[in-house]
Structures are given as structure tokens and as C-alpha cells.
């Protein structure tokens, strides 16, 4: 039996800001790759830059990882490994692969920099996404790997920590390609095994410029506050530059893990488009249980509206009606703010003229249709009042007399709005008594118009 070496990979963010989907795409791909291969996924906080690294950003990374469902097997902070880094630097110096170089900085202070002794080699590696890459390291000179024995710099810490934790797959953005030769040289000097590299193409904004916060790209955590579902974000982020080759796009986390492969990662930049993300969210919203929808969606309504719904016993019915009309939970808030929900809890106020279908000659026609509608729905027995039974009661009359002509006044009488769900839907929610009351009101308005 041949035992496959276990995959060990990592996500190594620097806690220096709030990250957009482009950065988390690296986390998602590394996570899916590790889980697909039943390997190990490490989260490494690269906080050696003491000035720029902030606890709030680290907290945000941990929260976002957990919200997206990206569980890791191991978490460590680079700053906790000063001793290990120091001994690696000393080791390199002792073996003459690096040397201490006293140099005066811009501030006039002389520091004992540690420089790597570059042998000016040609470095070749095979990138899992880009194929073979060859780079001449002559121009790099003897590069600095530490500002002192206890102040290691980026290239040294990345290699040291990857080697110390057995990382054998480095999946990261292709802005790191130019760093790779230096890091390979350090691996060789340490006698450590060079990992497989997979450099992911950039994530771009819809205008094909680099996705950036300055240009309005949101932090992933902001989508949580805006009422997006984590599974929609995960699914959409996973689709940035990767696809299964099939037409299906909506996948659960388990399905993504099962299907993920680095072979299908595209070489060209992927576009992050919020419109598409909203579509993913809508598709995932359709899939969640009604209990979850209510629990998560309700807080987006005002306390007042929540109270009114609770009192009417209609919370579930009304929220399920909203589910069909929204892309994110925040749309529930927007619907309420635009006054769209008022008619569900309070009889609308409007002018009689508005009841008239635009193609009808006068209000007399409108009144006749409303009277016919009233007659038809009054016959529905109380216990069988549903949107379907209301539709059935009115439909053949509406078809014969003209749908717009009959259904517009019916809907307007119930909602007082130019736009709303159809009258059957609304009547189903309002119930028989309230529906009849509102049609009556409309008829008497017309009688006095
Ligand atoms: N800390 C680096 C970054 O934030 C990642 C280094 C790496 O993945 O090797 O881009």
C-alpha cells in the first residue's frame, strides 16, 4: 500500500486591515483544498510588523473565518515564535548562508541587519496554476532577512513558519510570485523541502481594475452586517476563478469540498461583481429552512413592525411572502422603509381615482368590477380562505372582463400601492374579514367620487 503524504496548507493574513473577497478567496481555496484532501488547514496570523498589525483586525479575521465556516486545525501568531526565528537566523549565520551587516538607516541609526548570502542562482519551480516559472536571482543581491536576530522580516518568517508547521502546499495571491525565488533560496539554505506553490490570479472589480477597498470593495464582514448568508459568500467567493466545468453554480460547503481542485483554477483574473453575489444570496435564501429565515430575517424589521406582526399572529406568513421578494435580509428593512409593508398591518389611505385601471374609461367600470370581486370572494367559506381559493373565486371573471381592469382595483383596494405582490397573495395574508372590509371601503369611496 502506498501512503499518500498528507496535505498541509495555510492561510497567512497580516492583520493590518479589513479584507475584501479577494483576500478571502485565498482562504477559501486553501481551505477547500485541504478539506478535499483530508489534510490540515492552518491559520497563521502574520503579525511581525508590530506597528501596522492591530488586534481589531486579527479579531475581524477570526470572526470572518468562523462566519464563513472556514474551520482551521491550528492557529498561530508569528510574533509568538521570536525564539524559533532567532535560532533559524543564527543557524543561517553560523553556516555562513547569511551574515550580519551593520548599516546606517535613514534615521541615522546603525543596525545589525542580517543579509542572505545570494549565490545568484537561476530558480525554477512549477506553479500548480501557472506551470513552470524560471527566475534569475542575480538582481536580488544579498537581500535582508532580519533587522536584527530578534526582528525577522517577511521572507524569513514565511519560510520558517511554513517549514516548522510542515506546510507542503502554499496557496496565495499571485502578487507573491516575485517573492517566491527568495523564499526558495531560504528553503534550500535550510535544507527544508520546498512546497508546491499555487499562485492565484488577481480578483478584479467589474471594470477589470484591481479589486480594492479604495475603490469601494467591501470587507467580507460587512456583507454579514448587510444580511448576506455566509454560505452564499462562501459559494460566490469559491466561484471566483474556479468552476467545476458544469453549468451548476449553487453549491453547499460540502459540495464545494467534494468538487474542489486546483486543476480547474483559471489563469486569468476573476471578476468580483456584487450583483452576481446578490443572485447567489437569493438562491441560497430559497434553500434555508423557514425557521432560520424567520429567526434571521425578523431583526431586520423595526421593533414596531415586529410587534404588530406578533400581535396579528402573521409573522410567519408575512416573512415567507417577503422571502420571494428579497435578495438579502437587508432588503426586508428597505421594503419596510419604503412603506411597502404598512398595508399588511393597516388599511391604506388613497384617492378613489387611483383605483381605476389606466385603460378603463371611467370609475363606474371600476366599481362594477369591485362589486363582482366582492361577491365572488364573499362566497369563499371562512375556513378555506387561502391565496389559491381567492384566485379561483376571481379568476374566471377577471379573464372574461379583462385582467388589468379587474385585478388592478382589487389589488389597489387592498394595498393602496402602485407596486405590491398580487391581490391573491395579499388577500391570503389579510384574511377574509379584512379583505372584504377593504373592498367595501373602496366601493364606498367610488360611490362618493
Ligand atoms: N502575509 C502575507 C499577505 O498578507 C501572505 C504571505 C503568504 O501567503 O506567503 O499577503
Ligand 1 atom closest to the Cα of residue 179 is 9
- Nearest CA to 339 out of 328, 354, 350 is that of 350
**10 touches ligand 1 (CB under 6 Å):** no
Distance from the alpha carbon of residue 76 to the mean position of ligand 1, in angstroms = 14
Which ligand 1 atom is nearest residue 171's CA? 8
Q: Is 172 in the pocket of ligand 1 (CB under 6 A)?
A: yes
Report the first-to-last Cα separation within the chain, whole angstroms. 90
Question: What are the tens digits of pLDDT across the range 223-269?
Answer: 999 999 999 999 999 999 998 888 999 999 999 999 999 999 999 99
Chain-centre distance for alpha carbon 406: 43
Check if 47 has its Cβ closer than 6 Å to any atom of ligand 1.
no
What one-character DSSP code corresponds to residue 53? Answer: -
Determine phi and psi for 95, rounding to 5 degrees.
-90, 10
160 lines ligand 1 (CB under 6 A): no
Cα torsion angle, 352, 353, 359, 362, sign? positive
pLDDT digits (tens, 9 = 90+) for 30-62: 999 999 999 999 999 999 988 999 999 999 999
- Where residue 111 falls (left for φ over 0; alpha for ψ -120 to 50; beta otherwise) is beta
CA 328, 329, 335, 340: dihedral to nearest 10 degrees?
110
CA distance 260 to 200: 14
pLDDT, one tens digit per residue, over 219-234 is 999 999 999 999 999 9
C-alpha cell at 62: 477570526
- Mean pLDDT (whole number) for 285-304: 94
Q: Does residue 12 line the site of ligand 1, with CB under 6 A?
A: yes
| Residue nearest to ligand 1 atom 9, measured at CA | 158
The pTM of this model reads 0.86
Rounded to the nearest whole angstrom, what is the distance from the C-alpha of residue 171 to the centroid of ligand 1?
A: 10
Would you say the CB of residue 162 lies under 6 angstroms from ligand 1? no
Q: To which residue does cell 523564499 refer?
A: 183
Q: How far apart are CA 9 and CA 180, in angstroms?
A: 16
Q: Look up cell 389611505; give the residue.
A: 349
Amino acid at each position: 500500500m502506498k501512503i499518500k503524504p498528507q496535505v498541509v496548507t495555510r492561510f497567512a493574513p497580516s492583520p493590518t486591515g479589513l479584507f475584501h473577497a479577494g483576500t478571502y478567496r485565498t482562504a477559501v481555496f486553501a481551505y477547500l483544498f485541504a478539506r478535499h484532501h483530508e489534510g490540515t488547514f492552518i491559520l497563521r496570523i502574520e503579525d511581525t510588523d508590530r506597528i501596522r498589525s492591530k488586534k481589531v483586525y486579527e479579531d475581524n479575521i477570526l470572526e470572518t473565518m468562523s462566519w464563513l465556516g472556514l474551520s482551521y486545525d491550528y492557529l498561530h501568531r508569528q510574533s509568538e515564535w521570536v525564539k524559533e526565528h532567532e535560532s533559524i537566523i543564527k543557524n543561517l549565520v553560523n553556516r555562513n548562508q547569511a551574515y550580519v551587516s551593520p548599516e546606517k538607516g535613514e534615521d541615522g541609526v546603525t543596525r545589525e541587519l542580517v543579509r542572505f548570502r545570494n549565490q545568484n542562482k537561476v530558480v525554477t519551480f512549477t506553479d500548480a496554476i501557472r506551470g513552470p516559472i524560471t527566475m534569475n536571482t542575480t538582481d536580488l543581491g544579498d537581500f535582508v532577512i532580519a533587522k536584527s536576530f530578534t526582528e525577522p522580516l517577511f521572507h524569513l518568517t514565511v519560510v520558517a513558519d511554513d517549514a516548522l508547521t510542515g506546510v507542503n502546499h502554499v496557496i496565495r495571491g499571485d502578487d507573491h510570485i516575485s517573492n517566491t525565488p527568495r523564499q526558495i533560496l531560504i528553503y534550500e539554505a535550510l535544507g527544508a523541502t520546498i512546497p508546491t506553490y499555487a499562485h492565484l490570479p488577481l480578483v478584479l472589480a467589474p471594470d477589470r481594475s484591481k479589486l480594492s477597498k479604495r475603490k469601494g470593495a467591501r470587507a467580507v464582514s460587512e456583507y454579514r452586517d448587510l444580511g448576506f448568508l455566509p454560505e452564499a459568500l462562501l459559494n460566490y467567493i469559491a466561484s471566483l476563478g474556479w468552476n467545476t466545468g458544469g453549468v451548476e453554480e449553487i453549491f453547499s460547503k460540502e459540495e464545494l469540498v467534494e468538487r474542489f481542485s486546483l486543476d480547474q483554477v483559471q489563469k486569468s483574473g476573476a471578476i468580483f461583481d456584487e450583483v452576481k453575489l446578490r443572485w447567489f444570496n437569493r438562491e441560497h435564501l430559497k434553500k434555508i429552512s423557514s425557521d432560520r429565515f424567520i429567526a434571521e430575517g425578523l431583526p431586520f424589521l423595526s421593533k414596531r413592525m415586529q410587534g404588530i406582526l406578533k400581535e396579528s399572529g402573521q409573522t410567519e406568513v408575512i416573512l415567507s411572502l417577503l422571502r420571494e421578494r428579497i435578495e438579502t435580509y437587508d432588503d426586508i428593512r428597505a421594503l419596510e422603509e419604503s412603506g411597502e409593508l404598512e398595508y399588511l398591518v393597516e388599511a391604506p389611505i388613497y384617492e378613489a381615482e387611483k383605483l381605476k385601471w389606466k385603460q378603463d374609461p371611467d370609475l363606474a367600470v371600476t366599481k362594477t368590477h369591485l362589486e363582482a370581486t366582492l361577491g365572488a370572494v364573499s362566497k369563499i367559506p371562512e375556513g378555506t380562505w387561502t391565496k389559491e381559493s381567492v384566485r379561483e373565486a376571481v379568476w374566471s371573471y377577471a379573464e372574461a372582463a379583462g385582467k388589468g381592469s379587474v385585478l388592478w382595483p382589487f389589488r389597489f383596494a387592498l394595498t393602496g400601492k402602485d407596486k405590491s405582490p398580487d391581490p391573491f397573495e395579499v388577500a391570503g395574508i389579510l384574511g377574509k374579514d379584512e379583505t372584504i372590509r377593504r373592498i367595501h371601503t373602496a366601493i364606498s369611496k367610488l360611490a362618493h367620487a
